[in-house]
Structure 1
Amino acid sequence: MASRRGSLSTRLLAITAVMLVAAFGITIVVLDLVFRGSAEEALADQLETQVSALIGAVEPDEAGNLTIPQRLLDPRLGNPGSGLYAEILDAAGLPLWRSPSAVGLDLATGATLNAGQRTLTRPALADGTQALMLGVAINWELGPSATPAFQVFAAADLAASERQLGEFRRQLLGWFFSVMFFLLVALWLAIRFGLQPLRRMSWEIAEIEKGGLPALSDEYPLELEGVGRGFNTLLRSERQRMERYRTTMDDLAHSLKTPLAVVRNEVDAGHPDRVTLQAQVDRMQSVIDYQLKRAAAMGPRSLAARPVPLLPVLTELAASLRKIHRDKSVVCDLQVPEGCSYPAEQGDLYEILGNLLDNAWKWCRNRVAVTVQLGDGLSVAVADDGPGIPDGQKEAVLDRGIRADQRGDVPGQGIGLAVVREIVGLYGGTLRIGRAALGGAEITIHLPKGTGP
């Protein structure tokens, strides 16, 4: 069990210990009261038996004198200090008989009870001990004119009962402390076992920080599964983001290499052509703007991305491409279900769909078709009626700097499809190149449902 401040194990164990102490304390008090009540009730029953035995054993004569056969009495009544006492008083409260065990003790002298009255009291005896005493008043009918009244009292010292109660308390506390100890040990073991996944996650995060592990493992309980998955997604996204920045810088340097060489050659020639220089400057500016835009499209950033409507995005991209390629009359058919949307970063969708449409616009003759479907995710197919992509180049064109047209008849830098594949990969999707029904290439991307860290 960790002893650090703020430890969940310590908090849980402390809270449970307090609850156990409170519960056991209440239970001990209740049991103590029940045991005390039961003991006094049992003692009162014994006194009732002694009073009944005395009433049955007493033999008054016609003069009202009492005779009690000693053989019928409890032997303890004949032993001084035995803890069991008895006394018989007349109607005025004067003693008529007192058991040898009560020598020197006034149990109820002066008491006056009405006939048939019963009392149960806790008087203090002469030696200071507490006693439980039962008294009963009776009228004895000896004849028409002789009805002597008597009061019979029996008392028991509570010291023995208190000793039993004290022993019961000691045993009760011992058992409860033993049970609480074993419960706390069992709870400690249960907490350690239950929080083991959290300790393992903490250790794995520390190892990731030191570079010892690439990501959190997948073997976590259901309660922590989402945490681990989200952490790994964020970690993977951050690593891909850093890799993407490095790749972007490499691509930027590669893309600027050619126009810089042209500018250098023009300057070295001594009479640079203004048109050529302007064209190369525009090209470099275009490359820089493109790479900055591409660097900004870094895959899913949010754990709960908002759904982006697809039809407005596709419509805007198609309108922009018509302005860029004014020399081509292209019919663009957008087949998008009504209200279709997908939870992703809007910039990423613009980058993916923009590159696919730009690629199709460049290579088509006069037709481009976009088909969007929703099912177990988002599926977008962009087709054209151009020459298509040969089977042997379908994998190669997805690499940066590789183009299907090596002659340069169609403008481009050969990184558009590579960017698309990278962003789709960030979302855990796939990209496939095939032959379209229009005769040209058909590039289909699939983004899984519910993607996003």
Structure 2
Amino acid sequence: MSEAPPGILERFRRLIRRSLAARLATIAIVSVLGLVAMGFIAHAQFNRALLRLLIDPEIESVADNLIGNSGPGLAGELALQDLPYDPRYLQPLSGRYFQIARIHDDLLEVQVISPSLFDVNIQLDPKLQAELTAANAPRGPRYIDVAGPDNEPLRVIARVEQIPQLEGRYLFLVGVAPRAILAPAANLVGLAFAVFVAFCALMVAAVSVLQVRVGLEPLHQLQRDIASVRRGDSERLGGEYPAEIQPVTEELNALVDHNREVVERARRHVGNLAHALKTPIAVLKNAAADGKNNEVMRQSIDEMEAFVERQLRRARVAARAEARAGAQAPTIAYRTPVLQNLEDLIFMMEQKYDHQKAVDISIEAEGDVTFRGEREDLLEMVANLIDNACKYGRSQVIVRLLPPFESNGLMEIVVEDDGPGLSDSEQSLAMARGARLDEAAPGQGLGLSILKETVDLYAGELLFERGELGGLKARLRLPATD
């Protein structure tokens, strides 16, 4: 069954995820729509302000005039002594109207209307009429918007007053059609707002184009520089980039440097393998020529096989580190608890040297620490140090686990013995590839140099110094996780 094609919203989401230009364009469109909405809101607020400034004072003045000129007529009804001075209240359907009605309970008895109303009345919504004519309604003017003749919108002032010498209360309504007054100003302001919004929209569009063309140009330059490095035209990214992109270029340069280091390390591994196999091959040749030293041949073959396996394991570690390369933590994907592995390793060393010499191996730790790397690499590095300490120490080996330093986030494993130790020159020689300080011990002299390469692979540190027990103190610093 075929899948349904993605909808418009899903296609838009995919476009936003894949394109920075689409994101900038979307922001520009939303900004323009926001400007248009703000323009409509501002225009409406401007019209309301014009109502309060131009119309409300006029109808309030006319209402005061009507109330002042109201009095009893010949038949006891309300009559006006003088009409408003504005002749437009006399002209039919002029847009200026007034109406006076007597309040009977909830009903209105219209007694006076302006000639401009001709033969119609100003009708009020029943609910609004009830609010205006209620006995407990607040006194004072109230401005309302109602429908006038021909359903023309009216701005009306409503006042309930008592007239001397007349019984009851009277509702005075004075209304003006705002369209005739506000239309010229509203058209001018509407045009101004339209021009302003159009200008802002064009500016937003222009800025968005500049952002896409100019703002994203460093990314295009970065793409070209990376392609140059990939083709071999450049060794590193050396251009000037904005501060927001500079960290990315630094990480990419670190990745390039790391890959170059991995290649160099692979070359060294090949050299180590060739160096290690020279002696066993020579022994095999001599044994083969003799035809009697089968045990020597077996031992040499075992040594070659072990070393080849060791180098293959180191190559796999380097390959994993290359795949997860970073500026400071090539194997950040791994988390290995340290304390339990140290305890297991010490137990194995005690079993190994139990029948060879009396060595007391102790561990000191305030708490557990998590190594940012693989367990096999941790065991290989620490085992090398503890094995050497047990081999050359007299009777005591101490292993200490220290928490990460706040400055660089490296935990520390200290291995100390009470053996003869190493002088400064011997410490430097011990780290050299193929160098051996003890010719009586089996091996090819590559243990510490390969250990140093593994430490460097994890951006760690390996230091040698004279310990408190009188022998060698090895300080292994490795990256730790939080």
User: Do both proteins adopt the same fold according to a TM-score greater than 0.5, normalized to the shorter chain?
Assistant: yes
Identify the residue that residue 374 of structure 2 maps to in structure 1: 345
- Determine which structure has more spread, i.e. the larger CA radius of gyration: 1
SS at match of 1:389: coil
Alignment of 1:146-295 (within 5 A): 158-179=179-200, 209-210=230-231, 212=234, 214=236, 239-267=260-288, 269=289, 271=291, 273-295=293-315
Q: Give the alignment partner of residue 301 of structure 1, picking from 331, 346, 349.
A: 331
Which residue identity is paired with 2:428? Answer: E
* Counterparts of 2:113 and 2:422, CA distance in 1: 130
> Is 1:403 matched up with 2:423?
no
Give the C-alpha shift of residue 37 in structure 1.
Answer: 4.1
Any gaps of 5 or more consecutive residues in structure 2?
Answer: 1-14, 103-108, 124-131, 134-141, 322-329, 406-410
**What is residue 146 of structure 1 aligned with on the other side?**
none
> Equivalent residues in 2 for 1:48-59 (5 A)?
48-50=60-62, 53=65
Kept in 2: contact 1:369–1:384 (CA 8 A): yes
Aligned length: 419
Q: Aligned in 2, Cα 1:373/1:354: closer, same or farther, shift over 3 Å?
A: closer
Distance 1:49 1:320, change over 3 A: same
1:58-73 to 2 correspondences below 5 Å:
73=85
8 Å CA contact 1:383, 1:443 repeated in 2: yes
Q: Distance in 1 between matches of 2:176 and 2:221?
A: 69
- 1:274-309: CA deviations, max 9, x gaps? 333323222322322333344445475234523222
Q: Which residue does 1:429 correspond to in 2?
A: 460
Moved more, 87-96 or 422-431: 87-96
Deviation at 1:392, TM superposition (A): 2.8
Structure 1 length normalisation: TM-score? Answer: 0.67
Q: Deviations over 1:83-137 (max 9, x none)?
A: 5667999999999995xxx7xxxx3326599xx9999854346xx9877688999
Aligned residues of 2:16 and 2:23 also touching (Cα < 8 A): no
SS of alignment partner, residue 336 of structure 1 = strand
1:370-424 per-residue CA deviation (whole Å, 9 max, x = no partner) reads: 33141422131332524x434433212211111124xx32222111110121222
Give the structure 2 partner of residue 123 of structure 1: 148
Among 13, 17, 26, the residue aligned to 1:14: 26
CA distance 1:297–1:174, change in 2 (3 Å) = same
Aligned residue for 1:392? Answer: 425
SS of residue in 2 equivalent to 1:399: coil
Partners of 1:297 and 1:351 within 8 A in 2: no
Partner of residue 415, structure 1:
446
Tell me the distance in 2 between the aligned counterparts of 1:425 and 1:232: 18
* In 2, Cα distance between equivalents of 1:278 and 1:87: 124
Partner of 2:476: 446
Secondary structure of residue in 2 paired with 1:379: strand
Deviation for aligned residue 1:429: 2.8
How far residue 167 of structure 1 moved from its aligned partner, in angstroms, is 2.6
> In 2, Cα distance between the equivalents of 1:338 and 1:389?
29
Distance (whole Å) between structure 1 residues aligned to residue 162 and residue 284 of structure 2: 139
RMSD: 5.4
Given that 2:390 and 2:397 are in contact with CA atoms closer than 8 Å, whether structure 1 keeps it comes out as no
* Residue 348 to residue 306, structure 1, CA distance change in 2 (3 Å): same
The separation in 1 between residues aligned to 2:161 and 2:455, in whole angstroms, is 105
> Is the 1:84–1:155 contact (alpha carbons within 8 Å) kept by the matching residues of 2?
yes
Inter-partner Cα distance in structure 1 for 2:429 and 2:478: 25
- Residues 203 and 321 (structure 1 numbering): CA distance in 2 closer, same or farther, change over 3 Å? farther
Structure 1 unpaired stretches of 5+: 144-148
Contact in 2 for aligned 1:197/1:221 (Cα 8 Å):
no
Partners of 2:469 and 2:88 lie apart in 1 by 119
1:108 aligns with 2:121: no
Retained in 2: the 8 A contact 1:379–1:445?
Answer: yes
Instruction: Determine the C-alpha separation between the residues in 1 that align with 2:175 and 2:19.
Output: 63
Q: Secondary structure at the match of 1:158?
A: helix
Taking structure 2 as the reference length, the TM-score comes to: 0.64
Report the secondary structure of 2:296's partner residue: helix
Is the Cα–Cα contact under 8 Å of residues 458 and 478 in structure 2 kept in the other structure?
yes
Tell me the distance in 2 between the aligned counterparts of 1:371 and 1:11.
56
C-alpha spacing 1:55/1:322, structure 2 compared with 1 (3 Å): closer
Q: In the superposition, relative to structure 1, how do residues 304 and 228 fare at CA in structure 2: closer, same or farther (>3 Å)? A: farther
Percent of matched pairs sharing the same residue: 23
CA distance in 2, matches of 1:120, 1:451: 70
Query: Which residue identity lines up with residue 402 of structure 2 in the other structure?
Result: L
